[in-house]
Structure 1
Amino acid sequence: MTAPAVTRRRGRWIERWDPEDERFWQATGEGIANRNLWFSVLSEHIGFSVWTLWSVLVLFMGPEYGLTPADKFLLTSMVTLVGAVVRVPYTFAVAVFGGRNWTIISASLLLVPTVAAFAVMRPGTSFTTFLLVGLLAGIGGGNFASSMTNINAFFPLRKKGWALGLNAGGGNIGVPVIQLVALAIIGAHGGPRLLLGIYIPLIVVAAALAAVFMDNLATVRNDTGAAKDAARDAHTWIMSFLYVGTFGSFIGYSFAFGQVLTNQFGRTPLQAAYLTFIGPLLGSLIRPVGGRLADRYGGARITLWNYVGMAAATAVLVMASMRKSLPLFVSVFVVLFVLSGLGNGSTYKMIPGIFQTKALAKGLTGEEAVAYGRRLSGASMGLIGAVGALGGVGINLAFRQSFLSYGSGTGAFVAFLAFYAACFALTWAVYLRRPVRQAVTEATAGTNSQLSYAEV
C-alpha cells in the first residue's frame, strides 16, 4: 500500500498529520518532524540563554554597581518568575498562530530584553531599572513551553520521550553556553555589553531559520476547552508538583550557583564562572537520556529513583556546606544538576503517557484515543512547565532568605531535601503504588489490568 501523503496549503501549513500511522511516519513524517525539531531546538536554546542572561550579568556587577547579594538574588528570582508565568500563554500561542509562525515571533521578541540590557548595563543605573529590564528577559522562558507543545504534536507516542528530551535538552543547554561565553569574555577582560552584542545577531539568525525551514500543523487547533479540561485534571497539578522538583531545581540552581560560590565560598566572578557551567551543561545533555529511559522502563519508575538520588545528593550538600568544603560542594552540586536533568526527561515523558492511559481507560481506541491524549497533554504541558519553573523562583528566594538569616545556603538545602522527599512519596503513592486488594482480585480472576501508570 502507498503511504499517505502530506497535504499542504500555503504559508507552510501541513493539513494532514498522522505520526501514529507507521507507513506515513516512515515515508514522510519522520523527516519533517526531525527538521522541525532541530530548528525548534535552536530557537529554544537562544530563548534559554536570554532567560538566564541575568544569572551571568550579575557576576559582572561588582561593588561599583551598588547591589547587595540579596538584591542580586531578588533580581534573578523575578526574572525566573516572569519566565514561569509567560509559559502559559506561550503554550496556547502555537494553536493560535501555528508552530512555525510563533517560533518566528517568539524568537524575534528576544531582541527586546537583549537590546534593553545592552542600553542600561553600566554602573550608576538604579536597581529598579535593572529589575524592570531583567523582567523583560523572562520572556525567554516562554519559548520552552511553546516549543515543547509544538514538537509534542509532531511525534508518535513511542518517540515522544526521546524527542521531547532532545528538544528540552537542546534548549536547556543554552544555560551553560551563555555561561561559557561569559567565562571567555571575563577571562579576556571584556564587559557585559560584549556578551549582549554577541547574542543580538544570533537571535535574528534563529528567527530567519525558523521562517525558512519550519512548518505549521493545521491539526493543532485553537481549543480553549483543552486548557480548562487540563486544569481540572488532578494529574496536571500532580505532575506540576513533580516538575517543580526536577526542572525547578535545574533552573533555580542555574541562576543561583554562581552567587552561592561568590557569597559563601569567596570565589571571584572569574573563579565562579569556571565552575558554574559544568552542572547545567551535564544536566542539559542528560535530559534526552532521561526521556529514553522513560520510554523503555516507564517515566514513573525513573522519576521515583531519581528523587532518591536527588535527596541523597542534597544531604551531602548540607554536610559540605556546613564544613565549607568547596571541592565536595562543587562535585555534589554537579551530580545534583545531572539528576535534575535526568528527572526533567522522565517527568515530561510521563505527561503524554498519563493522558493516553486515561483515554484507554475511558474505552477510547485508535485515532480517537490518540487525539484525546494529544489534546490534553499539549494543553497540560504549558501549565506544568509554568508551575515547574516557579520552583526556580522558590530556590532563589530560599537562598536569599538563608543568606540573610544564616550567612550561608545551608538552611535552603535542608528545605530542598524535605521537598525531594515529598516528591518521592507523591510519585510512589500516585503512579507506582498498587492496592493489594486490586492485585489479589486480578490474580484470582486471571485477567490483565489496563495499562498502569507505572508504564507511562
Structure 2
Amino acid sequence: MLKDTDAWWFMFFYSVTFGGFVGLASSLTIYFNIQYGLDAKTAGFFTAACVFAGSLVRPIGGNVADRIGGIKSLSVMYVLAAAFLGIVSIGLPTAWMALLAFVGAMLALGMGNGAVFQLVPQRFRKEIGVMTGLVGMAGGIGGFYLASSLGYAKQITGSYQIGFLIFAALALLAFAGLSGVKNRWRTTWGAAHLTAAKI
C-alpha cells in the first residue's frame, strides 16, 4: 500500500483535516487562557464549542461530498480552514471574535474529514480496511505535530500566531496537492464508468 502515491496523498490530506482538528482541540483551552486571560472553566467551554461544532458536521461533510463530489468539497474546506486560521493568526482583539474564527475553522476541518472518507473507498475498494487504518494513523500523527507546532511557536517567538500560520499554510498546501491530482483521479479510478459516486 505504501508504494502507492495515492495512499500517501490521502494520508497527507487527512493529517491536515483531522490532524488540524485534533491539534486545535488539544491546544485551544491553553490558548484561550493565555491569550485572552479566560479562566479554565470558560476556556474549556469555548474549546468545547469548537470541538462540538467540528464533530457535529463530519457526517454533513460526507453528505455534501456525496452530492457535489469529494474533491470539490474538500477543496472548499481547505480554503475555508486556511482563511479562518489566517484570520486567527493576526491576533484578534477579543476572545469572542477568536471563538467565531475557530468555530469556522473547525467546521471546515470537520466537514473535510467527512469528505476525505467519501473519497478513500472509491480509490481503495479492495483495501479499504488497511487504508482506513493508515489514513486514521496519519490523522493522529498530524494532530500531535500540529499541536506541537503551536507550543514551539509560543516558546520561540512568544506568540502562538506563527503556529496558526503554519496550520493555514498546510491547508493551502493540501489544497494545492488536491488540485494537482484531481484531473488524474477523475479520469482514472474516479471516471464515471468506474464508480457511481461523485468524485
Normalising to structure 2: TM-score of the pair?
A: 0.90
**1:419, distance to aligned residue in structure 2 (A):** 0.8
Given residue 403 of structure 1, which amino acid in structure 2 is its aligned partner? K
Kindly indicate whether the alpha-carbon contact (under 8 Å) linking 1:301 and 1:432 is maintained by their aligned counterparts in 2.
Answer: no
- Residues 250-272 of structure 1 show CA distances to partners (whole Å, capped at 9, x for unaligned) of 11111111011112222111121
Residue 404 (1) aligns with residue 175 (2): no
The residue number in structure 2 matching 1:261 is 32
Residue 391 (1) aligns with residue 158 (2): no
| More contact order relative to length (CA 8 Å, sep ≥ 6) | 2
- Residues 194-225 of structure 1 show CA distances to partners (whole Å, capped at 9, x for unaligned) of xxxxxxxxxxxxxxxxxxxxxxxxxxxxxxxx
Q: How does 1:281-300 map to 2 (within 5 A)?
A: 281-300=52-71
**1:432, distance to aligned residue in structure 2 (A):** 4.0
Instruction: Give the aligned length.
Output: 195
**1:283, distance to aligned residue in structure 2 (A):** 0.8
Kindly indicate whether the alpha-carbon contact (under 8 Å) linking 1:244 and 1:388 is maintained by their aligned counterparts in 2.
Answer: yes
User: Match for 1:303 among 74, 78, 84?
Assistant: 74
Q: Name the CA shift for 1:236/1:254 in 2 (closer, same or farther; >3 Å).
A: same
Kindly indicate whether the alpha-carbon contact (under 8 Å) linking 1:300 and 1:432 is maintained by their aligned counterparts in 2.
Answer: no
Normalising to structure 1: TM-score of the pair?
A: 0.41
- CA–CA distance in structure 2, aligned partners of residues 231 and 434 of structure 1: 18
Percent identity (aligned): 28
Kindly indicate whether the alpha-carbon contact (under 8 Å) linking 1:287 and 1:343 is maintained by their aligned counterparts in 2.
Answer: yes
Given residue 198 of structure 2, which amino acid in structure 1 is its aligned partner? E
- Residues 8-35 of structure 1 show CA distances to partners (whole Å, capped at 9, x for unaligned) of xxxxxxxxxxxxxxxxxxxxxxxxxxxx
- CA–CA distance in structure 2, aligned partners of residues 432 and 307 of structure 1: 18
Given residue 234 of structure 1, which amino acid in structure 2 is its aligned partner? T
Unaligned runs of 5+ in 1: 1-229, 356-372, 439-447
SS of 1:455 mapped into structure 2: coil
User: Match for 1:381 among 122, 132, 147?
Assistant: 132
Residue 455 (1) aligns with residue 192 (2): no
The residue number in structure 2 matching 1:270 is 41
- Residues 250-303 of structure 1 show CA distances to partners (whole Å, capped at 9, x for unaligned) of 111111110111122221111212211111111111000111111222111100
Q: Name the CA shift for 1:329/1:241 in 2 (closer, same or farther; >3 Å).
A: same
Kindly indicate whether the alpha-carbon contact (under 8 Å) linking 1:264 and 1:407 is maintained by their aligned counterparts in 2.
Answer: no
User: Match for 2:108 among 333, 336, 339?
Assistant: 339
* RMSD value, Cα: 2.1
- CA–CA distance in structure 2, aligned partners of residues 387 and 434 of structure 1: 21
Residue 349 (1) aligns with residue 100 (2): no
